[in-house]
């Protein structure tokens, strides 16, 4: 079949020929000037009508794909060069580059997502999709909110750029478009609304509201803006198949406003565990009065500096004035049913008191729950260690590392299932004053010194030379004081080795042999010996 353009060209040619061909007079055809429309005029009109019909769809299509106010003056492209670490060989690193989108804000600032901005060495910014690259600087970053602010002081960059306003409240979800620079051109793809949901992101354990949309596009999820007409909907943060997760503008705007005012204290979260009350018999057993409703608290972590206001088997009936149903949802006035976790970040910051109505042993109580600040360092197994190189210590070929999620993620996307159970088990344990963190014997680099232990790996260290070990600094100090000429390393109870003993006198020589053999520059890297590399997350 011929294409549409081929048919249109032939039709236009035939009409032109019809309009210009000489026509002999006939009795039934009026002559020119007789007061009736001539065939020549009729053919010319027909040609004009067909031409207009052929052109209108194209013009309408162009109007749907263009934006008269000019997004090209408000969207920039960034190139972030960052260090990428291999946690299975923490002494190695390589460089990686990532293209991201950014939105121009008032005050010579650019808004983007925090993803792939950590461990950065260079940020470059380009406007209008081509031409000069400008050196940028990250002035603020919050990994829990997945937001970052970038700026540049290079002359000429801000000329003719137009700031975008991040709107308050819910944005319309019809006629959405994803916009980005691609190969020097501004690409716009239509997107369809799917749902609002509450989930964690790739950078943090804090649940927050997300907008799910679908679009036929590849390679997004790096801060590309989503618009509805002239209104910003949000920034894309994740892309799987045709599903794209968007951080809504209604979540972003309050954080930016609080940061400007200096009142932003970081995100808080609900640190208790709960389950849906899907079985009415459970509510009856807990003496709930009235209709079945609420979510059941099943675990409350202890804090050494305060007494928890919640207790296991409390029933959450209301949070911040919103009724909680049996699925653990509340009815959001803007977004419909949402998971109760969203109420920790809905206009609240860390340290804020959230009013709750609970049922405890048949009695309704009003309590104030103070939101703890989301921090990675407060977990026994930290979720992330941004903007610092992996820590390690090599002693006689024994490689020791902190146990954290970045190390476990070396097992791939399905790391929660594929990583060794004996170490992933600690992910569900709470820190204690005696054991605030964990050190792992991750592997052994073979040498005559460690002969017989070369297959030992994935063991959590309990103590060394009689000293309790929580961090690499503890291990480093313990190796300075061997009792009776031997180093005694003891591990947490497991199905493997519980203790190993090696000579203290030969340790230093063995360490140097291992470093030389495997081309390792240093026998350790401790975060306490390195200055901070970036802006502190959450600080205005």
Q: Name which of 216, 147, 223 is nearest 188 in CA terms.
A: 216
Q: Could you tell me the two tokens for 23?
A: 């026509």
Strand partners, 366: 357
**4-20 vs 39-65: helix axis angle to the nearest 10?**
150
Is 119:107 a contact under the CB 8 Å cutoff? no
Phi, psi at 222, each rounded to 5°: -120, 45
Please give the sequence-ordered ranges of beta strands (E in DSSP) within 106-242, or none if there are none.
109-112, 120-127, 134-142, 147-151, 176-182, 185-199, 208-215, 225-228, 231-240
Q: What is the CATH number of domain 377-529?
A: 3.20.190.20
- Sequence-distant contacts of 155-161: CB under 8 A, at least 24 apart: 157/125, 157/127, 158/108, 160/73, 161/73, 161/74, 161/76, 161/104, 161/127
Q: Name which of 447, 462, 468 is nearest 498 in CA terms.
A: 462
- The DSSP line for 69-97 is T-GGGTEEEEEEEEEEE-TTSTT-EEEEE
Is 500:515 a contact under the CB 8 Å cutoff? no
Q: What is the CATH number of domain 273-370?
A: 2.30.42.10
Please give the sequence-ordered ranges of beta strands (E in DSSP) within 326-391, or none if there are none.
329-332, 336-339, 353-360, 363-370
Looking only at the bridges linking them, the beta strands covering 439-444 and 322-323 are: unpaired
Looking only at the bridges linking them, the beta strands covering 134-142 and 147-151 are: antiparallel
Distance CA 390, CA 25 (A): 95
Residue 19 DSSP SS3 = helix
Residue in the structure block whose two tokens are 């903007």: 387
Q: Name which of 361, 334, 328 is nearest 346 in CA terms.
A: 334
Q: Could you tell me the two tokens for 474?
A: 């503890």
Phi, psi at 268, each rounded to 5°: -105, 175
Residue 31 DSSP SS3 = coil
Length of the chain counted residue by residue: 540
Output the tens digit of pLDDT for each of the chain's 540 residues: 333 333 333 333 443 443 444 444 433 434 434 344 444 554 555 455 544 444 444 333 333 344 444 789 999 999 999 999 999 999 999 999 999 999 999 999 999 999 999 999 999 999 999 999 999 999 999 999 999 999 999 999 999 999 999 998 776 667 899 999 999 899 999 999 999 999 998 899 999 999 999 999 999 999 999 999 889 999 999 999 889 999 999 999 999 999 999 999 999 999 999 999 988 899 999 999 999 999 999 999 887 677 899 999 999 999 999 999 999 999 999 899 999 999 999 999 999 999 999 999 999 999 999 999 999 988 999 999 999 999 999 999 999 999 999 999 999 989 999 999 989 999 988 898 899 999 999 999 999 999 999 999 999 999 999 999 999 999 999 999 998 899 999 999 877 889 999 999 999 999 999 999 999 999 999 987 654 444 444 433
Is 488:503 a contact under the CB 8 Å cutoff? no
Distance CA 60, CA 64 (A): 6
Terminal CA-CA length for the chain: 62
pLDDT at position 70 = 76
Distance CA 453, CA 487 (A): 14
Distance CA 535, CA 538 (A): 9
Burial of residue 358 (CB within 10 Å: 0-12, 13-18, 19+) is: buried
Residue 155 DSSP SS3 = coil
Per-residue pLDDT tens over the stretch 18-53: 344 444 443 343 443 434 444 455 455 545 554 444
Residue ranges in 83-242 assigned as alpha helix (H): none
Is 305:433 a contact under the CB 8 Å cutoff? no
What's the DSSP call for residue 174?
S
Distance CA 435, CA 415 (A): 24
Is 387:117 a contact under the CB 8 Å cutoff? no
Domain chopping of the chain, boundaries: 1-13+39-65, 74-267, 273-370, 377-529
Burial of residue 218 (CB within 10 Å: 0-12, 13-18, 19+) is: exposed
What's the DSSP call for residue 268?
B
Phi, psi at 416, each rounded to 5°: -65, -25
Distance CA 88, CA 421 (A): 17
If one counts every other C-beta atom within 10 angstroms of the C-beta of residue 51, the result is 14
Q: Could you tell me the two tokens for 425?
A: 């088990």
Report the topology of domain 74-267.
Thrombin, subunit H (2.40.10)
Residues in Cβ contact with 133 at an 8 Å cutoff, skipping those fewer than 6 apart:
79, 124, 125, 126
What's the DSSP call for residue 342?
G
Distance CA 79, CA 202 (A): 20
For CA atoms 65, 192, 111, 202, the dihedral sign is negative
**pTM given for the model:** 0.82
Residue 146, CA atoms < 13 Å, CB-side half-sphere? 29
């Amino acid at each position: 079949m011929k294409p549409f353009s081929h048919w249109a060209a032939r039709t236009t040619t035939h009409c032109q020929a019809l309009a210009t061909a000489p026509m002999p007079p006939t009795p039934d055809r009026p002559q020119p000037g007789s007061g009736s429309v001539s065939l020549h005029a009729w053919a010319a009109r027909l040609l004009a009508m067909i031409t207009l019909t052929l052109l209108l769809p194209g013009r309408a299509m162009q109007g749907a794909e263009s934006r008269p106010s000019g997004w090209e003056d408000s969207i920039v492209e960034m190139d972030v060069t960052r260090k990428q670490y291999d946690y299975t060989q923490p002494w190695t690193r390589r460089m990686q580059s990532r293209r991201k989108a950014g939105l121009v804000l008032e005050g010579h600032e650019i808004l983007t997502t925090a993803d792939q901005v950590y461990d950065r060495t260079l940020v470059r910014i380009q406007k209008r999709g081509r031409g000069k690259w400008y050196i940028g600087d990250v002035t603020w970053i919050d990994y829990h909110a997945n937001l970052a602010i970038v700026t540049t002081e290079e002359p000429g960059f801000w000329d003719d750029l137009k700031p975008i306003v991040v709107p308050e409240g819910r944005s319309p979800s019809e006629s959405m478009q994803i916009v980005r620079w691609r190969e020097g051109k501004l690409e716009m793809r239509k997107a369809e609304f799917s749902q609002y949901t509450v989930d964690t992101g790739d950078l943090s354990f804090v649940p927050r509201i997300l907008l799910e949309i679908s679009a036929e596009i590849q390679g997004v999820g790096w801060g590309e803006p989503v618009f509805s007409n002239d209104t910003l909907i949000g920034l894309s943060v994740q892309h799987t198949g045709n599903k794209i997760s968007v951080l809504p503008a209604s979540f972003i705007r309050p954080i930016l406003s609080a940061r400007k005012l200096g009142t932003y204290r970081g995100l808080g979260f609900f640190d208790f565990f709960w389950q849906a009350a899907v079985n009415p018999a459970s509510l009856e057993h807990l003496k709930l009065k009235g209709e079945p409703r609420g979510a059941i608290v099943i675990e409350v972590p202890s804090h050494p500096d305060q007494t928890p206001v919640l207790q296991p088997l409390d029933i959450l009936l209301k949070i911040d004035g919103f009724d909680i149903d049996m699925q653990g949802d509340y009815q959001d006035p803007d977004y419909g049913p949402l998971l109760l976790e969203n109420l920790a970040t809905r206009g609240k910051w860390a340290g804020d008191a959230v009013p709750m109505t609970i049922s405890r042993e048949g009695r309704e109580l009003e309590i104030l729950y103070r939101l703890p600040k989301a921090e990675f360092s407060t977990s026994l197994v930290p979720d992330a260690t941004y903007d610092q190189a992996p820590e390690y210590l090599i002693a006689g070929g024994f490689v020791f590392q902190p146990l954290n999620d970045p190390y476990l993620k070396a097992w791939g996307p399905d790391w929660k299932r594929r990583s060794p159970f004996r170490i992933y088990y600690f992910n569900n344990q709470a820190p204690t004053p005696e054991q605030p963190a964990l050190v792992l014997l991750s592997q052994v680099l073979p040498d005559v010194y460690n002969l017989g232990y070369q297959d030992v790996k994935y063991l959590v260290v309990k103590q060394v030379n009689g000293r309790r070990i929580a961090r690499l600094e503890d291990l480093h100090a313990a190796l300075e004081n061997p009792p009776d000429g031997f180093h005694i390393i003891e591990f947490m109870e497991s199905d493997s080795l519980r203790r190993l003993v090696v000579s203290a006198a030969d340790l230093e020589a063995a360490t140097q042999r291992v470093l030389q053999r495997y081309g390792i520059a240093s026998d350790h890297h401790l975060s306490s010996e390195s200055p901070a590399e970036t802006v502190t997350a959450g600080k205005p």
